[in-house]
Amino acid sequence: MIKIAMTKGRIQKQVTELLAQAGFDVQPILKMDRELQVVTKDGFELIFGKANDVVTFLEHGIVDIGFVGKDTLDESDFDDYYELLDLRVGECDFALASFPDYADKVFQRRKRIASKYTSIAKRYFAERGEDVEIIKLEGSVELGPVVGLSDAIIDIVETGNTLKANGLVVIDRFLPISTRLIAGKTSFKFKKDEILELVAKLEQVKK
Ligand code: PRP
Ligand code: MG
């Protein structure tokens, strides 16, 4: 029995497709309505939650493995896990974005940067020796510069459509993201063979 936490939404859809291609029973996942946990014929016990909570479930030993975005892992303090597989789905990048004139602008004060990923944003500017003010937004981060709350944003860019629709451009694309399969270190010790079998099967179908 492997206990799995899966990030709801897009990751769930893409990973379920890969699990199906790898020959696993995904019917219980596809038939889910509002339930948040299912058991499959392969002996997987799956729970579905928000990205940060997938990490929390792993951290507390509630699940053995998790499917979660690299963005969430980089933002979180948790590091007691092994990253076993890059599934190459949900590929996108972290970027600094703003209006096109941002790079040429001279700021007489601390720049204000809006982001949902405040740790990543802090690290980005610290590495560049820039002292900025980070403002946390939970979503629709592009509003930051649009409404004048911030000078720029640190956010995820996939197609770039959201930036474009709001008059913004990528200033610096700095970190590639994709969905990862991670295992808690303790779980890996006790369920190594089962976990590695799942990893091997997924490895064959990933792009
Ligand atoms: C994400 C991300 C960007 C957008 C990138 O937002 O924060 O805003 O998608 O995709 P694109 O480059 O293809 O436009 P999401 O739609 O998940 O909403 P949220 O930021 O409000 O959580
Ligand atoms: Mg967004």
State what percent of residues in the chain have pLDDT above 70.
Answer: 100
The ligand 1 atom at the shortest distance from the C-alpha of residue 142 is: 8
pLDDT (average), residues 91-115: 97
Is pLDDT at 178 greater than 90 in this prediction? yes
Tokens, residue 130: 């820039």
Whole-angstrom distance, CA of residue 70 vs CA of residue 181: 10
Name residue 175's beta-bridge partners. 94
Three-state SS string across 128-171, please? Answer: CCCCCEEEECCCCCCHHHHHCCCCEEEEEECCCHHHHHCCCEEE
Q: Which atom number of ligand 1 is nearest to the Cα of residue 141?
A: 20
Cα 66 to chain centroid, rounded: 11
Q: Are 41 and 1 in contact (CB under 8 A)?
A: no
Ligand 1 atom closest to the CA of 163, numbered from 1? 14
Task: Report whether 63 contacts 47 (CB < 8 A).
Answer: yes
Residue 207 confidence (pLDDT): 85
**54 CA → ligand 1 middle, Å:** 20
Q: What is the pLDDT of residues 1-45, one digit of tens each?
A: 999 999 999 999 999 999 999 999 999 999 999 999 999 999 999
> How far is the centre of ligand 1, averaged over its atoms, from the C-alpha of 141 (Å)?
8
pLDDT given for residue 158 in this prediction:
96
pLDDT at residue 43, rounded to an integer = 94
Q: What is the pLDDT of residue 169?
A: 98
Kindly give the distance from the C-alpha atom of residue 44 to the centroid of ligand 1, in angstroms, as a whole number: 31
Locate 172 and state its tokens. Answer: 């610096």
Would you call 58 helix, strand, or coil by DSSP?
helix
- Which ligand lies nearest the alpha carbon of 156? 1
Measure the CA–CA gap between 24 and 29, rounded to whole angstroms. Answer: 11
Distance 140 CA to ligand 1 centre (A): 7
pLDDT at residue number 120? 98
Rounded mean pLDDT, 168-177: 98
* Closest ligand 1 atom, residue 161 Cα: 14
**In this prediction, does ipTM exceed 0.90?**
yes
Determine what percent of the chain falls in helix, strand and coil, rounding each to the nearest 5: 35, 30, 35
- Cα–Cα distance measured from residue 156 to residue 96, given in angstroms and rounded to the nearest whole number: 9
pLDDT tens column, 113-161: 999 999 999 999 999 999 999 999 999 999 999 999 999 999 999 999 9
Mean pLDDT over 197-206 rounds to: 97
pLDDT band at 170 (very low <50, low <70, confident <90, very high): very high
Q: Which ligand is nearest to the CA of 50?
A: 1
Which pLDDT score is estimated for 90? 94
Give residue-wise pLDDT tens across range 180-192. Answer: 999 999 999 999 9
